[in-house]
């Protein structure tokens, strides 16, 4: 009788430990006598003790902070860059069977890939073309982790830290660039103004009376001004007829 009671208790314990619950966001990798046999879906799953073993794999997107990396850009500028990596397991059997620790492996691969990709670009690209660099790093990581059953969904470069001395040099370079552009714009403006004046002079040379009307218009503008003293040069053309008449009389 005691043997039967003990046997029943043993059977109940065996049944209790044989059932495993797989959550919605998990998948179970089952081994039978140490050999991979199947993937178990969410729900209650039967796993035979001492015969089968089941490892649970989280299928949710993981967030991995990529530590700050020392990178030398293509134009020999030393910077520190850190990023954040988003990935998830899409093939649980690959993630368990093909790599010892897929979390550590993905993290290390992200660090080396970040240094490799950014090292091929100049500092200006790191500061202004982050979207392109993010996509480049993501594509490389996704290709290399595909055999591990991992899908890299996104890579975001968070910070690009530059040495303070280099920051001052970049500021000076930017200031010099702004001055250069300002001088070019000023020179272009002077060129256009000179061109317009040259064309105006040609028109006025053909029509002297136009010059006189322009002069009279200028007088009107000065008359409306609030200044108390106005000194204006008088063109000799206004007195040309009077001078010619006096010359004839004296002759």
Instruction: List pLDDT tens digits, range 20-29.
Output: 899 999 999 9
pLDDT number for residue 230: 55
Is residue 73 scored above 80 in pLDDT? yes
**Separation of alpha carbons 170 and 77, rounded Å:** 11
With a pLDDT cut of 70, the percent of the chain lying above it is: 74
| Cβ 79 vs Cβ 73: under 8 Å | yes
- Write down the mean pLDDT value for the chain: 81
- 90-136 residue pLDDT tens: 999 999 999 999 999 999 999 999 999 998 988 888 888 889 999 99
Q: Which residue has the higher pLDDT, 182 or 211?
A: 182
Residue 158 vs residues 76, 114, 171, 216: alpha-carbon distances, Å? 21, 12, 22, 67
Q: Write the DSSP symbol of residue 90.
A: S
Q: Which two tokens stand for residue 74?
A: 């293509």
Q: 130: which residues sit within 8 A by CB, 6+ positions away?
A: 157
The pTM of the whole model exceeds 0.75: no
- 29 forms beta bridges with 39, 55
- 190-234 residue pLDDT tens: 888 877 777 766 766 666 656 565 655 665 665 665 655 555 555
Residue 102 vs residues 66, 85, 227: alpha-carbon distances, Å? 15, 14, 84
Query: Hey, how many other C-beta atoms are within 10 angstroms of the C-beta on 57?
Result: 19
pLDDT number for residue 236: 53
Q: 181: which residues sit within 8 A by CB, 6+ positions away?
A: none
- Tell me the pLDDT band of 42, cut-offs 50, 70 and 90: very high
Is residue 47 scored above 70 in pLDDT? yes
Q: 99: which residues sit within 8 A by CB, 6+ positions away?
A: 105, 148
pLDDT number for residue 195: 79
Q: Which residue has the higher pLDDT, 183 or 6?
A: 183
User: Exposed, middle or buried, 79 (CB in 10 Å: 0-12/13-18/19+)?
Assistant: buried
- 148-174 residue pLDDT tens: 999 999 999 988 888 776 666 666 777
């Amino acid at each position: 009788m005691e043997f039967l009671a003990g046997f029943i208790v043993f059977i109940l314990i065996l049944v209790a430990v044989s059932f495993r619950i797989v959550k919605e966001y998990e998948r179970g990798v089952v081994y039978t006598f140490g050999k991979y046999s199947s993937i178990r879906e969410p729900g209650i799953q039967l796993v035979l003790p001492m015969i089968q073993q089941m490892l649970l794999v989280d299928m949710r997107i993981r967030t991995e902070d990529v530590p700050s990396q020392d990178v030398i850009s293509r134009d020999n500028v030393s910077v520190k860059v850190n990023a954040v990596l988003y990935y998830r397991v899409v093939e649980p059997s690959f993630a368990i069977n093909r790599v010892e620790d897929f979390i550590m492996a993905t993290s290390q691969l992200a660090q080396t890939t970040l240094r490799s990709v950014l090292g091929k670009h100049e500092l200006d690209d790191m500061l202004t073309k982050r979207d392109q660099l993010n996509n480049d790093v993501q594509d490389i990581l996704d290709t290399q982790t595909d055999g591990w059953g991992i899908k890299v969904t996104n890579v975001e470069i968070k910070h690009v830290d530059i040495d303070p001395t280099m920051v001052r040099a970049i500021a000076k370079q930017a200031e010099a660039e702004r001055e250069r552009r300002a001088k070019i714009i000023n020179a272009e403006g002077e060129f256009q103004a000179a061109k317009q004046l040259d064309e105006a002079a040609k028109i006025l040379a053909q029509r002297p009376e136009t010059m006189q009307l322009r002069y009279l218009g200028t007088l009107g503008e000065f008359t409306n001004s609030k200044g108390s003293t106005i000194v204006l040069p008088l063109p000799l053309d206004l007195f040309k007829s009077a001078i010619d008449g006096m010359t004839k009389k004296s002759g």
